[in-house]
Structure 1
Amino acid sequence: MINEHKERYVSAEKINMQEAKIVKVEKNNEEQPIAPLDLGQRLKDIRIQLGLTLEEASKRTGLARSTLSKIENEQISPTFQALQKLATGLDIDIPQIFEPPKTKGAAGRRDITLAEQGKPHPTATYEHELLATQLSNKKMVPFKSRIRARDFDAYAEWVRHDGEEFLLVLEGEVCFYSEFYEPVNLMVGDSVYYDASMGHVLISISKEDAQILWVTAK
């Protein structure tokens, strides 16, 4: 009788251990929760990657600057019509807007841009040539710019955006204006590193339009 009771106890214990193992395996195989897409930040990242100010993005998309700002700051949700305007104006596909951000970049990435083979992006004041455009989710956004502006008044307002920025003069001479400092003239080989949230603008002061290398870091 005692032996029969022991056998039942051992059998029940084995069943409990097996159930515990099954629960543990199922728990370990649970899919990790997917982080929700921050649509406003995603749109802001796309705009910055394209080297656009809110004002420039507004002109390209037909959406008011204030509307774009509210969308980026998650104060309002964009309608489907607004998403269509954003996709058309920014020259992207709508699915790209909803592409979830990658937490880790692939190891060993590289992107070569041959001379004069960057993606052109002209504006009223700059003629940008976007570099390394095949890579997504970059921590830096490099581009060359030919400075068309010849006067401070060519800008309706200060240019400012998130992150830090570095510029190096490649050709000609420029005058670099910044919100909290006196204007400074920069020649070929001169460079400046600054907080991009501080208002800043650039004009050419040489006979020919100056060209610079710009690198924006998030």
Structure 2
Amino acid sequence: MQGNVGSKIRDARKQHNITLRELSERSGLSVSQLSKLENGKARLTVDVALTIAGVLHVPVASFLFSPKPGMQARRSITRAGSGVLHEGNAMVFEVLCSDFRDKTNIFWRVTLLAKSFEENGGWRSHSGEEFIHVLSGSLELHTIHYDPVVLQPGDSILFDGEMQHAYVSVGDEPAIMLMSNTVPRDSVPLASAG
């Protein structure tokens, strides 16, 4: 699999008429490291893929993901205000694009009304990763291992869901955010046969 990734990097570099040395200078990665990546002798990390993709002006997904044979062409649309709503602890979750089977992410539009840690129900934790992008209002995110951080519209954060966390809306209006939770593969129930 790494060899396939390496050839994708090499092909993108050559399409842009960039030598290995030029890619090294522009990316800050050594010629040796880039050569090992292109020859499948080193593992490509997400950070390195992002760096190379940025220099070559190509989508990072072209390095990180390969289409699977027989892959389906699926899509899911949730029209504005039509997602299923879940309410609790001064939060309203609108489930977005939920009709894929065997998905690995859950997407939400969340309206946070809680003005205090207690009003939000205290600490919560879950398996997987959590991503938040603030759309409006101000969100104060509390985590057990870090000082609280205030996120403004346009700010994003990704953290491990196992780490205890809590949300507080600061300011006059509710915090509205897009949220995604990964679903660990071992926690997804298998579809019953037949």
Same fold (TM over 0.5): yes
Question: Which residue of 179, 182, 191 corresponds with 1:214?
Answer: 179
Greater radius of gyration (CA): 1
Specify the alignment match of 1:173 in structure 2: 138
Counterpart check, 1:125 vs 2:90: yes
Which structure's residues are more often helix, by fraction?
1
- Structure 1 regions of 5+ residues with no counterpart? 1-104
Letter in 1 for 2:112: I
**Paired-residue identity, %:** 32
Please give the residue correspondences for 1:1-218 in structure 2 after superposition, counting only pairs within 5 Å: 107-218=72-183
TM-superposed CA distance for 1:164, in Å, is: 0.4
1:157 Cα deviation after fit: 3.7
TM-aligned CA distance change 1:110 to 1:213, over 3 Å:
same
Q: Which residue of 1 aligns with 2:43?
A: none
Letter in 2 for 1:129: E
Q: What secondary structure sits across from 1:167 in the alignment?
A: strand
* Aligned CA distance change for structure 1 residues 181 and 170 (closer, same or farther; 3 Å): same
- Paired residue total: 115
**Retained in 2: the 8 A contact 1:119–1:133?**
no
| Structure-2-length-normalised TM-score | 0.56
Q: CA deviation at 1:124?
A: 2.0
8 Å CA contact 1:145, 1:212 repeated in 2: yes
Task: Tell me if the contact between 1:147 and 1:204 (Cα under 8 Å) persists in the aligned partners.
Answer: yes
RMSD: 1.8
User: Normalised by the size of structure 1, how large is the TM-score?
Assistant: 0.50
AA in 2 matched with 1:206 = G
Task: Report how far residue 190 of structure 1 moved.
Answer: 0.4
Shift of 1:201: 0.7
Determine helix, strand or coil for the equivalent of 1:153: coil
Aligned equivalent of 1:52: none
